[in-house]
Structure formats: structure tokens, C-alpha cells
Amino acid sequence: MSFHHSALFNPRKNTFANARHRKKTGGGGKMSEWVNYPRTLAAVCRRLRGVLIEHQDALDVIRVQDTDDALFFVDPPYVMSTRDKFVVYRHEMTDAQHLALLALLKSVRGRVMISGYASELYDDTLTGWTRLTRQHYASAGIGMGRRTEVLWMNG
């Protein structure tokens, strides 16, 4: 499995697409894509300038990076009780892990924004936080239909 090159290097895209490479008709397939990588790698470097990428446990990163002027935008896996299918993400979280995350986020000095689906676990734990909602149409592994997306914010 590899990251699809157009998602990596297209400035109009804001996500990394996970895709298998297919031979394009009339093209050289995967090998011909490497011709453009040196040119487009410079664009990736410019886009990531000033970005810190950590490969560690999120709770450890939050503890280390917490300052008065920090902003933590947290988009954890959806709480299991909010989904129709229960195994969707490569790295899932139990309710106990969600509670540990929320306890830490409630204690930080910085600002916090948490994105997720409406859930009693989050609402009961984040009393006093600002709560914004938005209706949208969900698909994929979480169940089809209209869902309520929630943004919880401290302070």
C-alpha cells in the first residue's frame, strides 16, 4: 500500500489518499511517476515548512506541546457506540482510552477543539465546554444516513 502521488503533490487536495497504483493507458505506470518526484518533492517541503510531525502516542505529544498559546485540534476515532460498524480505523480507541484523552485535554493550558459524533460519553465529560453541531450525510464504515457532527471547544 502506498500514498497516491497526486494526493501528495496536488495543492488543491488537502488529504493523503490511500490508493493502489494502476497502469495508466498510454503511460508508463508507476515507473513514469518517479520522473516528476524531484520537482514535486520541493512543493511538499514548502507545504510542510514549520510543521512538526510526531510519531508517538498522542497523549505524550499533548503533554509535551502544551503551552498557554497551544491549540490542539483533536479528531479521535469515533466512539464505538456512535457507529453501526465497530472496527473502522487502523487504530481504534476504547471508551476508557477516550476518557483518558478527555481527562488530559480538560487539564491542558492551551485551547482545545475536538471533533466527533454526538455521544453521551463526550457530552457528560465535557460539561461547560462550547458545543457546536452540524448535520451531514455519513457513509463508509459508520453507517449511512444523516449524522450530527460535533465540535467541542474549551474556554
Q: What is the pLDDT of residues 123-143, one digit of tens each?
A: 999 999 999 999 887 665 555
Cα–Cα distances (Å) from 24 to 28, 34, 142, in that order, read 7, 14, 32
pLDDT of amino acid 114: 97
Neighbours of 122 (CB within 10 A): 21
- At 105 the three-state DSSP class reads helix
Per-domain boundaries in the chain: 2-47, 58-153
Q: What is the pLDDT of residues 56-108, one digit of tens each?
A: 999 999 999 999 999 999 999 888 888 776 666 678 899 999 999 999 999 99
State the Cα–Cα distance between residues 125 and 106, nearest whole angstrom: 9
| 3-state DSSP assignment of residue 122 | helix
pLDDT score recorded for residue 85? 67
Positions of E strands within 14-129: 18-19, 71-74, 111-117
Is residue 2 pLDDT above 50, yes or no?
A: no
Overall fold of domain 58-153: Rossmann fold (3.40.50)
Cβ-in-10-Å burial (0-12, 13-18, 19+) of 80 comes to: middle
Model pLDDT for residues 4-58, shown as the tens digit of each residue: 445 555 555 554 444 444 555 555 566 677 777 777 888 889 999 988 888 899 9
Residue 58 corresponds to which cell in the numbers above?
Answer: 498522542
Print burial letters for 91-119: b (CB count within 10 Å at least 16), e (below 16): eebeeeebeebbebbeebebebbbebbeb
Q: Are strands 111-117 and 71-74 parallel, antiparallel or unpaired?
A: parallel
> Which amino acid makes up residue 63?
R
* Number of Cβ within a 10 Å radius of residue 7: 14
